[in-house]
Structure 1
Amino acid sequence: MASRIVIADDHPLFRSALAHAVGKVWEGFAIIEASSAAEARAVLAEGAVEALLLDLHMADSSGLSVLMDLRQDHPALPIVIVSASEEPRVAAAAAQLGAAGFIPKSASLEAIREGLAAVKRGDGWFPDTGAEADDDLARIASLTPAQRRILGAIRQGLLNKQIAYELAISEATVKAHITALMRKLGVASRTQAVLLAAKLDVDQPVADSARA
């Protein structure tokens, strides 16, 4: 199978624009378009993917959680975030969580091609945010996939019994995971865990500290 570049974005017109830029950088590569995170995962499961261009906000994903999950499953895959958000904290968080680059959707095609060319060379491509590493993000990144799923369920307001049903595990296992994830996050309550996890969102401000 020929190596491919995957573009995951739910806006067809923007996917077409990205495909044009990708074709200038990765000449001869097959360009696969996906309109959801699930479609992107299905393509990645087939193998032979050179790079993934990923929108953080699609119908089945919102925020940096999808980046964390894909980095977990495909640690060697360069993932370039292409986002409508231009908040410095989002770009800085993407870099900290292992993205290969961050390109705002407002960038010109020339700038997009320049960024993709840098990623192809193995160089990172991020706006100069001036932000330092966020210890809270490091704690979130230390969670296991199971703990991140349970944290996501807590953010939805589900009770332990409901989480156990959704994940097909025992309520005791849910409690054990919650105890472990709260210890890793350094928080003392579910509310504090939810506030801290809001740092993964891209479309809303977050509190300076979930432990205040």
Structure 2
Amino acid sequence: MSSSGSIIRILVVDDHPVLREGLSAMLAGQPDMALVAEAENGEQALQAFREHQPDITLMDVRMPAMGGIEAITAIRSEFPTARIIVLTTYEGDAQALRAIKAGASGYLLKSMLRKELVETIRSVHAGRRRIAADIASEMAEHVADDELTARERDVLSYVAAGNANKEVAARMGISEETVKTHMKNVLTKLGAKDRTHAVVVALKRGIIDV
């Protein structure tokens, strides 16, 4: 890891080549930063981190093979001091919270990169945590909410895919009554009026993905 005042070595992880090229160009314009490696999914990110041990990793969330949050967990389990900044198009507070819990030090929307990326990198490298203000306020708004359990998220994901309770029960190997109980809990926790509203809320907040 680099010492203070030297070059900040950066790993970029994103499955879109155009975005990686753009990030590379932005970093090339900074005298205190150097791009040392690129990866296009979480598995490659872990391998690249082992090889280069960068000071900062810029990590996309949604990628094939292994997503960003799984990759953060894997990297941090091997390298507890790793400093990782999540870059995403998605504003969901639940997704942000999962990333922070996994060990991310920063969370930035891709629409903010031109204005905030460089300063966020320097800030996180200096040991601070940086979360986009809009997302931080969303997280604060929901901080007292009951989180959905893994089972409840699974049920809701199947519902979001258009499955009726009977189909969800068959797919998950549980009774239809259990599905109904899970959905009742989901509606309560999300403050949703019905199944469709629950799906909309969960997608907006990043609780489930499609």
Q: TM-score category by the smaller chain?
A: 0.5 to 0.7
Q: Which has the larger radius of gyration?
A: 2
TM-score, normalisation: structure 1: 0.57
CA contact (8 A) 1:94 1:102 kept: no
Structure 1 residues not aligned, in runs of 5+:
202-212
1:126/1:25 CA distance change after superposition, 3 Å: farther
What are the residue-to-residue correspondences of 1:55-134 with 2, within 5 Å? 55-56=60-61, 79-84=84-89, 90=91, 98=100, 100-105=106-111, 107-108=113-114, 111-129=116-134, 131=137, 133-134=140-141
DSSP 3-state at the match of 2:113: coil
What's 1:12 paired with?
A: 17
Alignment of 1:10-49 (within 5 A): 10-19=15-24, 21=27, 31-34=37-40, 39-40=41-42, 43-44=45-46
Is the alpha carbon distance of 1:56 and 1:24 closer, same or farther for their aligned partners in structure 2, counting shifts above 3 Å? farther
Q: How far apart are 1:186 and its partner, in Å? A: 3.8
The CA deviation at 1:158 is: 1.5
Code of the residue aligned with 1:101 in structure 2: it is: Y
- Distance in structure 2 (CA, Å) of the matches to 1:79 and 1:166: 36
Q: Which secondary structure state, in structure 2, belongs to the residue aligned with residue 107 of structure 1?
A: helix
Q: What is the identity percentage for the equivalent residue pairs of Structure 1 and Structure 2?
A: 24
Asked whether the equivalents of residues 15 and 39 of structure 2 are also in contact (C-alpha less than 8 Å), the reply is: no
Greater percentage in helix: 2
Q: What's 2:184 paired with? A: 179
Q: How many positions carry a matched residue from both structures? A: 181
Per-residue Cα deviation, 1:127-150 (whole angstroms, up to 9, x for no partner): 444946222x7637x122232222
| Unmatched 5+ stretches in structure 2 | 1-8
Letter paired with 1:190: R
Deviations 1:22-47 (A, max 9, x none): 997776x963412xxxx315754998
Change (3 A) 1:179 1:138: same
- Structure 2 CA distance for partners of 1:188 and 1:12, relative to 1, 3 Å: same
Matches of 2:109 and 2:125, distance apart in 1? 14
Q: Is the 8 A contact 1:81 1:101 kept in 2?
A: yes
Q: CA deviation at 1:102?
A: 0.9
Counterpart of 2:155, as a letter, is: I
TM-score, normalised via structure 2 length: 0.57
